[in-house]
Amino acid sequence: MYVYWRINTDLNCLGESITFRDPVFIRCYRQWIRENVLALALAEDVVGPDFNAVCLN
């Protein structure tokens, strides 16, 4: 899932977006994000009050 998150992040930096259509994949992706939200916030260098504003798509 990290690879998909990384691709999505890189595309967001370029102003592009990716749309996942498989419901099972979307559910697993969201679950993975919930489980790894703190590590993802550290990877994005989010600190302080901006922590809740992280766009995890």
In this predicted model, what pLDDT tens digit does every residue of 2-36 receive, in sequence order? Answer: 899 888 888 988 899 889 999 999 999 999 999 98
Q: Is the pLDDT of residue 44 over 90?
A: no
55, 12 Cβ separation under 8 angstroms? yes
The closest of 48, 55, 57, 47 to 26, measured between CA atoms, is: 57
Q: Report the pLDDT value the prediction gives residue 32, as an integer from 0 to 100.
A: 92
4, 31 Cβ separation under 8 angstroms? no
Average pLDDT, integer, range 33-45:
84
